[in-house]
Every structure is written in C-alpha cells, then in structure tokens.
Amino acid sequence: MSNPSSSNSIPDTQKAWLAVKRGTPAQAIRFEENAPVSAKLKKGEVLVKIQAAALNPVDYKVLGMLPNFIANRPYPLGNDIAGVVVASADSKFTVGDEVFGTIWVQEQRKTKQGALAEYARISAASIAKRPADMPPTVAAGISLVGLTASIGLFQRGKLEPGQSVFINGGSTAVGLAAIQFAKAIGCKVTVTGSTAKEDKLKALGADEFIDYTKGPVYDTLIANPPTPKFNVIFETVGSIDPKLFALSEAYLAPGGTFVSVGPQPEGNGKFGQIVNFLWAVFRPTWLGGVNRKCSIFTVGEHPEELARVVKFIEDKKFTPLVDSVHDFDQVLAAYDRLMTKKATGKVVVKVDPTVA
Ligand SMILES: NC(=O)c1ccc[n+]([C@@H]2O[C@H](COP(=O)([O-])OP(=O)(O)OC[C@H]3O[C@@H](n4cnc5c(N)ncnc54)[C@H](OP(=O)(O)O)[C@@H]3O)[C@@H](O)[C@H]2O)c1
C-alpha cells in the first residue's frame, strides 16, 4: 500500500545494529552503515524515526538460542522504541506524532524490523502516543515491561483493589512496574530483592521486603506466613526453581494464582530444567500436584493494557525507571550492562544523539 501520509525526507538506507547469526551480542551483531529502510507500509502500520531503543533480556536470549533458519535474520536487534511517526497508514497516527511501543518478537522474524536502527515499520496497535514531558530515553523502556507487568497482574492474576500480591523480583524492570501498578489500585505489596535494593523498592511503594540473598524465599514465607495469604504471586525473575510454586499452599490463598514470566533456563540441560519446572507446576493434584493455579505467559500486542499503562503514567502512579543510557556506538557495552542482571530499570540506547 502507498503511504497516505508521509514525510518527504525518508532515506533509502540507515545505520543499524543487525543481528546476523546465533550467538552472544558480541559475536552475532554487526554495525551496518547502509541497511535498507523498509518504508512501504501495510494498512495499520506506521514508519517511526527512532530516537531511543530500550534493551530487554529477550534480545540476547533469542539471539543466543535460535539459528538463522528459524529466526529469519538479518534484521536490527531489539524491540522497544520511542520515536516520531514519519509515515502512517493508520487513522490513529499522523506524521509528527511522538510515540513509543514494541516491535514484538513474534512479528520480528516476519517484518524484519528492529529497534536498534534509525527507522522501523511497526503495527499501530503496538504503539501509543508518548506521554507529555517524557523524554524518548524514558519512554523507550515502557512498553515491553509495562505490558508484562500489567498483563501479569490484571489479565493473568486478576488482581483486585485491596488484595495482597507477592512480587518475586521487585527490582527487575518488570517488577519495578508491577510494584507501582499494584500500589496504584490499592494493593498490599511484598517483594524480594537483594540487600541494597530495599530502600528503593520501599520508596516505590513496596510494603514488605524479603532479601533473597539471605536464603530461599519460600523458607522465609513458610517461617513467616502472610496473614491473610497472598491473592497473587507474580514471579518476574524467570526462576527455574519450581519450589516457590510447589510450596505455595502455605502462603498463596485458595483460588489465588501463581503468575510467571516463564522459567528462563541457563547453561547445560535447558530442556530438562524446563520439563522439571512444568511437571512441578502443571502436575494434577491427584498425582501429587499443588492445589493452586499457575499461569505462565508471553507478552505481546495488547492495546487495552497499553492504554492502562499510559493512564497510570498520566495519573502519576507509574514512573518508568532508567538504569543507564548509552550512545548508539556503545550498543555492546549496553548489552554487557543488561547481561549483568544487576540493572535497576531499563538499559537504553540513544539512536538519535540529540535527544534527552
Ligand atoms: N514472559 C514474558 O513475556 C517476559 C516479558 C518480559 C521479561 N521476561 C523475563 O522476565 C525476566 C525479567 O526481565 P527484566 O527485563 O525485568 O529483567 P532485568 O530488569 O534485566 O532484571 C535485573 C534485575 O533482576 C534482579 N534479580 C536478579 N536475580 C534475582 C533473583 N534471584 N531474585 C530477585 N531479583 C533478582 C536484579 O536485582 P538484584 O540486584 O536485587 O539482584 C536486577 O535488578 C527475564 O528473565 C526476562 O527474560 C519475560
């Protein structure tokens, strides 16, 4: 389809960090001066001039896992963006709109678009207008983790105002959003984190803090069971240890849900780790399984939940946190930071050096 609304100055080529093979970011991405710009829009798409990109663990996990014949590379790495619409084939957005959103992993292998580039074609249902006064380097990190937190708590966990939620991993980027969303609707929030994170997580609204470095979290919860029990447990770390669920009858209320971003195995024996986890959480009770519900999910396009996230921002109930901002030529250093698993908030790359 031709572009019904577009700027005159869209180039044919762009600078981009292309994922070219399976491996670590240092092995498998390449800076390209003249990557093609895909400017021909389908109905319902917009072309965004990217100002900032935010990194996510899924970037390096998919890069390290899938061979080219499945991933359909090359294309720019990364999913989360903030930028300006420069062409639109959708009625909700016009040229000049400042937006943020996600090029979903599920779509990326088909569209071959990515965040670490100057331009990207993206479904209008995967973006929203950037909240007023929010810099692109902050807005870039909202969508993927904001939607994960929102879908996890409200769609999967069915969390209601006044209930009690336990967030395993309060200082993951997903957890930082989830704390604020749960507080925004008036819930009691208990979180885990490492020792140094306690003050920060309490300042965000966490009522109770458990230091996971001092011993297994399930032991602490069994020794000091919450009263009443949690209505929702939201596991945001990607732990492969099924015990937090397996022992949850002691601290998760009957009818409550254990929601998980999914076990994220590492090292050798990944398949076995996943099978072990799934058997523990989905085994029927008549085979000795746990009498609680478990919901594992993968985030994707969800305009209604994205609108809820934006409303939390507009109502000043949600402040997206940034760990660090890196220049476009420092993408590998940015991935090094993310891969420490110690970032508190989003690791962001400035694609346009002039933005804040
Ligand atoms: N299913 C989905 O669709 C989906 C979507 C988004 C993310 N994810 C997954 O969710 C996980 C979190 O993603 P993210 O981007 O939020 O991660 P992130 O921001 O990179 O996580 C870093 C944080 O994790 C904390 N952490 C590390 N190990 C921990 C542990 N054992 N217990 C508690 N906290 C721990 C660290 O805090 P401390 O300094 O306190 O250790 C650090 O602040 C990743 O595994 C990611 O792949 C899944």
Q: What is the DSSP string of 292-343?
A: SEEEE------HHHHHHHHHHHHTT-----EEEEEEGGGHHHHHHHHHTT--
The tokens for 137 are 């380097």
Count the neighbouring beta carbons within 10 Å of the beta carbon of residue 272.
11
Q: Which residues of 109-142 are buried (b: 16+ CB within 10 A; e: fewer)?
A: eebbbbbbbbbbbbbbbbbbebbeebbbbbbbbb
By CB atoms closer than 10 A (0-12, 13-18, 19+), residue 226 is middle
Rounded to a whole number of angstroms, the CA Rg of the chain reads: 21
Q: pLDDT band at residue 267, thresholds of 50, 70 and 90?
A: confident
- Residue 67 is which amino acid? P
Chain segment 167-220, per-residue pLDDT in tens:
999 999 999 999 999 999 999 999 999 999 999 999 999 999 999 999 999 999
Query: Which pLDDT does position 268 carry in this prediction?
Result: 77
Domains 5-142+320-350 and 145-296 share a fold: no
Q: Ligand 1: does its nearest atom lie under 6 Å from the Cβ of 72?
A: no
- Which run of H or of E encompasses 68? helix 68-71
Cα dihedral 123/127/129/134 (nearest 10): -140
The C-alpha atoms of residue 316 and residue 327 are separated, in whole angstroms, by 29
Chain segment 50-79, per-residue pLDDT in tens:
999 999 999 999 999 999 999 999 999 999
The C-alpha atoms of residue 171 and residue 237 are separated, in whole angstroms, by 9
| Mean of pLDDT values over 267-283 | 88
Could you please state the CATH topology (level 3) that the domain comprising 5-142+320-350 is classified under. Answer: Quinone Oxidoreductase; Chain A, domain 1 (3.90.180)
- Who contacts 345 (Cβ-Cβ below 8 Å, separation ≥6)? 141, 173, 176, 320, 321, 322, 323
**Nearest CA, atom 35, ligand 1:** 169
Q: Is residue 4 scored above 80 in pLDDT?
A: no
**Nearest CA, atom 17, ligand 1:** 172
| The CATH number of the domain covering residues in 145-296 | 3.40.50.720
Question: Could you tell me where the beta strands, DSSP code E, fall in 97-182?
Answer: 98-102, 119-123, 127-129, 164-168
Q: pLDDT band at residue 20, thresholds of 50, 70 and 90?
A: very high
Q: pLDDT band at residue 98, thresholds of 50, 70 and 90?
A: very high
Average pLDDT, the chain: 96
The C-alpha atoms of residue 316 and residue 204 are separated, in whole angstroms, by 12
The Å distance, Cα 173 to ligand 1 centre, comes to: 6
C-alpha of 26 from chain center: 22
Percent of the chain's residues with pLDDT above 70: 99
- Which run of H or of E encompasses 150? helix 143-150
| Mean of pLDDT values over 279-307 | 94
- Residue 320 is which amino acid? P
The C-alpha atoms of residue 228 and residue 251 are separated, in whole angstroms, by 8
Q: pLDDT band at residue 243, thresholds of 50, 70 and 90?
A: very high
Q: Is residue 1 scored above 60 in pLDDT?
A: no
Q: Taking Cα atoms as reference points, which of 71, 83, 82 lies closest to residue 108?
A: 71
Residue 74, preceding peptide bond in cis (omega within 30° of 0): yes
Q: pLDDT band at residue 270, thresholds of 50, 70 and 90?
A: confident
Q: Ligand 1: does its nearest atom lie under 6 Å from the Cβ of 137?
A: no
Chain segment 309-331, per-residue pLDDT in tens:
999 999 999 999 999 999 999 99
The C-alpha atoms of residue 53 and residue 138 are separated, in whole angstroms, by 10
Domain ranges of the chain: 5-142+320-350, 145-296
Cα–Cα separations (whole angstroms), residue 352 to 83, 85, 117, 185: 9, 14, 10, 36
The Å distance, Cα 345 to ligand 1 centre, comes to: 10
Query: Which pLDDT does position 265 carry in this prediction?
Result: 86
Q: Is residue 335 scored above 70 in pLDDT?
A: yes
Q: Is residue 3 scored above 70 in pLDDT?
A: no
Query: Which pLDDT does position 7 carry in this prediction?
Result: 72
Chain segment 80-96, per-residue pLDDT in tens:
999 999 999 998 999 99
The C-alpha atoms of residue 236 and residue 171 are separated, in whole angstroms, by 9
Count the neighbouring beta carbons within 10 Å of the beta carbon of residue 351.
32
Query: Which pLDDT does position 191 carry in this prediction?
Result: 98
Q: Ligand 1: does its nearest atom lie under 6 Å from the Cβ of 302?
A: no
The Å distance, Cα 9 to ligand 1 centre, comes to: 40
The Å distance, Cα 259 to ligand 1 centre, comes to: 14
Q: Taking Cα atoms as reference points, which of 190, 165, 145, 129 lies closest to residue 259?
A: 165
> Which residue of 237, 244, 273, 323 sits with most ligand 1 atoms within 8 Å of its CB, as the best mutation to test the pocket?
237
The tokens for 204 are 């965000």
